[in-house]
A and B are shown apart, each in its own frame.
Chain A
Amino acid sequence: MTAILAILLAAAAQDVALTGARLHTVDGDPIDRGTVVIREGKILAVGADVEIPEGAEVIDVAGHVIVPGLIDAGSFLLHEPGDRGTAGEVNLRAADSLDRFSPRVAEPLAGGVTTTLLLPDTAGPARGIAAIVKLPSTVIRAEAGLLLSTAAGSADAVSALDTFNQYKALHARLDGAKKYIESWEKYEKDKAEYETKKKEFDEAKLKAEEAAKDPKAAKVEVPKEPQEPQKPKRDEKNEALARLFVEGKKVGGAGEKLPLMIEAHTRDEIRHALKLAADYELAFTLVGGAEAHAEAEALKKTPVVYGPAVIYGPARARFFGHRAETPALLAKAGVRVSVASLPLAEAGYPRGAAHDPSRFLMLAASRSVAGGLDRKAALRALTVDAAETLGLKDRLGTIFPGKDADLVVLTGEPFDVETRVAMVFVDGKRVAP
């Protein structure tokens, strides 16, 4: 009996207790000399005075600092370099085109990034459907949002006319999607009408037939047989766009409504993104936002997935207006900011390069601290605020019982220049170094 129990216990993953570290739980004040207990991939207990379960593996990390796993809120991490910049389509899913065995994931993981919003690695106004991936390669949400872009042209050639034309092109696409929805609505309505009429017809026909058998019966009028309405032709591109407005089943497909994301960097691009969303009464997440500080007031209700990383990149025309103060100014205006490695890739680096800038996510966020964002807010941007923007706040972003055990053990305070990543846990498993 005991032997069976022992086998059962061995089969379940061993509990892990990280002890003695300073915990930045992110949802409260830091806890000094705290303990985190991990059970079956989840956080079981957190605190300064936590009982360690019997048989748990105890890892003494005294003198270290633990933060929630970092979230890169917009990357191209798992895409093949060769896939870069192909023309996108709205129904293209990043989750379907990723490289599950990407060698490019190891460095970001060792840098503390445990989750990323994987953007479709495409060009053009309609980019595709983004996925949320736990590193190294577990897709935890295949359809996290639909990415459009008002950032026309290249990083070096920014033109107001190109931006406007791209906005108009998106307008046409969304109008098309609206028509597509209407065609399905009309079909559903016609179908319901047809079914009623068909029932009436069938009943009348039956009566008429019975009446015909009985010569004494009065003659029954049979209405004209109703025509069955034709089902609209399924169009996957329109369907993806339509899902910004309605659930997939409303347009002959499947899946929930898709959150809208719009990539925009310059002030002009951001204004067009705001206008586009307003035109269709859609909420959206802004991806990029190099000059978002200039539109901070207008962006109050729009989360920004922001790339401070861009400052470490080359001086490209699209990012001239960028300032280290951008996140601080957005936060001051009440905008929820998270951090992405994307803009650096957008700035002309080889996307999915062997050494992805995602590995420097925390260093990139340090720039925002230099720009006036307080350290607490900067850590929130990398964790819980990103989780909220991605719709995964119930699972990620803080060190709290019941949440995923995605943890980063640091040698010192986050954002200090000497601080290094000592250990990374994803779903309770140590994955780096």
Chain B
Amino acid sequence: MIAALLLLLQGDAVVLKGGVLHVGDGRLLTGATILIRGGVVEAVGEQIEAPEGAVVVVLPASAHVVPGFIDLHTHLGMAAEQDEPAGPITPHMRAADGYSTDRDDVRAARGSGVTTVALAPGEANLVGGAMSVVRLGDGYLHEALVEPVAAMKLSLGAGALLQGREPTSPAGALALLERELADAGSETHRRLVKEKKPAFVHATTVEAISRALELRTRFGIRLVLLHADAADDAVDAIAAAGVPVVLGPLTMSDDDRTLRRAGLLAGKGVRIGFASDAPVGTEEQLRHSAILAVRHGLGKDAALQAMTSGAAKILGLDALLGTIEAGRAADLVVYDGHPLAPTSRVERVIAGGRTVFERSPK
């Protein structure tokens, strides 16, 4: 009975037939059928019968189906205050608790092609709190929450140095952070050292990047570099450590060095992902960042994976998200052309098995 109710809540089965399917890991399938039921992809293949009562969507051959894009760092749906700056270390804060679905930016994001976002605290604290992964569904938070504590947000940026509060200097910041990480009783230690949640560290300068790499070596944390503007100068160290880098949003006013960074890092074998950093950018800009990166040397496949399976791996949620395969969440987007062609547009967004956006016919 409960199962039946759940099924009802999730809606009937949906079958997508045809088009070009980007699995999300580099594989391409043409003319495949996707069966979605209970919020997950039940099957993908050529010989799939649509179950009785299923909604069947037949796609034109020119359509492309991709896994819903994953924004690895955003403040979407959050109020202006994303930090609790009274103290520099606030690991108990959860970004999802500052999130509201009843906002224009969230509504606008549903048609962007991004289906999953990693909500993050700001950069005013050394340990800002937990990053929460949320699906851009059509419901309230409890329906949208994928993982309340997916990762932790740390900041080695100038933003974490405040007047009249510890730390006020970069050296002081590092000392404080090391003490916190070493303290076996601390929440930070529990999340990052024991549970090995990814540590998204805001580190723009070479100094901040090298300190973050040192922390990784010392404490064995799962480091992810965020906004690593100076990654070009530390690319070999980053590649050797196998640390992923989250970039973006890229804009048309960025210089070539910035626009080439994604291609440069990927070329050295560094796993990359993209972030809208909303409200700095919009969710739509995630794809635009990838387009600009492709124009400046990043491979198309690498760019697509950076927004799908690669991003899921960075979050440690790849068993759940990032590809269109049996057993994964039914988060997928239909474009009317190649997803990285700037002229393509979103036709349909399915998040958690439900159609949350459909382009109205002209």
Residues of chain A at the chain B interface (Cβ within 8 Å): 309, 311-315, 320, 324, 344, 349-350, 353-357, 359-360, 363-364, 366-367, 369-372, 375, 415-417
Contact = CB atoms under 8 A, between A and B. Distances in A.
Contacts of B105: 315
A315 B277 CA distance: 10
B341 to A, nearest CB: 5
Contacts of A363: 252, 291, 295, 342
B33 interface: no
Contact of A312 (B280, B288, B343, B362): B288
B51 interface: no
A244 B340 CA distance: 46
A344 B285 CA distance: 14
Contact of A313 (B251, B340, B362): B251
A372 B360 CA distance: 12
Contacts of A315: 105, 278-282
Given A363-B295, A417-B291, A417-B338, A313 B343 contact: no
B345 interface: yes
Nearest to B337: A370
Contact of B252 (A313, A350, A415, A416): A313
Interface in B233-279: 249, 251-256, 278-279
Given A315-B279, A315-B280, A417-B338, A355 B343 contact: no
A309 B252 contact: yes
Contacts of A360: 252
B345 A324 contact: yes
A311 B294 contact: no
A345 to B, nearest CB: 8
Contacts of B362: 372
Contacts of A353: 253
Q: Per DSSP, are chain B's interface residues mostly helix, strand or loop, or mixed?
A: loop
Given A315-B280, A315-B282, A363-B295, A416 B341 contact: yes
The 3 closest A-B CB pairs, nearest first, are A366-B342, A357-B252, A369-B343
Nearest to A317: B279
A370 B113 CA distance: 13
B342 A314 contact: no
22 contacts: A311-B288, A314-B281, A315-B105, A315-B278, A315-B280, A315-B282, A320-B104, A324-B345, A344-B252, A355-B256, A359-B252, A363-B342, A366-B342, A367-B342, A370-B343, A370-B344, A370-B345, A372-B345, A416-B341, A417-B295, A417-B338, A417-B341
A355 B104 CA distance: 31
A370 B359 CA distance: 12
B284 interface: yes
Contacts of A309: 252
Interface in B329-360: 338, 340-345
Interface of B: 104-105, 249, 251-256, 278-282, 284-285, 288, 291-292, 294-295, 338, 340-345, 362
A415 B288 contact: no
A416 to B, nearest CB: 7
A417 B253 contact: no
Contacts of B280: 314-315
B81 to A, nearest CB: 16
A429 B255 CA distance: 27
Contact of B253 (A324, A350, A371): A350
B343 A415 contact: yes
Contacts, number: 75
A121 to B, nearest CB: 15
B175 to A, nearest CB: 35
Contacts of B338: 417
Given A312-B292, A315-B279, 7 more contacts: A311-B288, A314-B280, A355-B256, A370-B345, A415-B343, A416-B343, A417-B341
Nearest to B278: A315
A314 B251 contact: yes
Given A312-B285, A314-B280, A315-B278, A364 B252 contact: yes
A65 B66 CA distance: 31
A369 B338 CA distance: 14
Nearest to A359: B252
Contacts of B342: 363, 366-367, 369-370, 415, 417
B253 A356 contact: yes
B336 to A, nearest CB: 9
B253 A313 contact: yes
Nearest to B341: A417
Contacts of B285: 311-312
B152 to A, nearest CB: 26
Contact of A355 (B255, B281, B294): B255
A356 B251 CA distance: 11
Contacts of A314: 249, 251, 279-281
B254 A355 contact: yes
Given A315-B105, A363-B295, A417-B342, A357 B288 contact: no
Contact of B294 (A344, A350, A417): A417
Contacts of A324: 345
A367 B287 CA distance: 12
A375 B105 CA distance: 29
A3 B294 CA distance: 55
B295 A355 contact: no
Contact of A371 (B252, B278, B294, B345): B345
A377 to B, nearest CB: 13
Contacts of A350: 253
Contacts of A320: 104
A421 B271 CA distance: 30
Nearest to A313: B251
B254 A311 contact: no
Contacts of A366: 341-343
Nearest to A375: B343
B253 A355 contact: yes
A356 B278 CA distance: 22
A311 to B, nearest CB: 7
Contacts of B104: 320
A311 B252 CA distance: 10
Given A320-B104, A417-B291, A417-B338, A312 B345 contact: no
Contacts of A415: 342-343
A244 to B, nearest CB: 33
A417 B292 CA distance: 10
A327 to B, nearest CB: 13
Nearest to A364: B252
A349 B341 contact: no
Contacts of A372: 345, 362
B253 A357 contact: yes
Contacts of B254: 355
A359 B292 CA distance: 12
A80 to B, nearest CB: 16
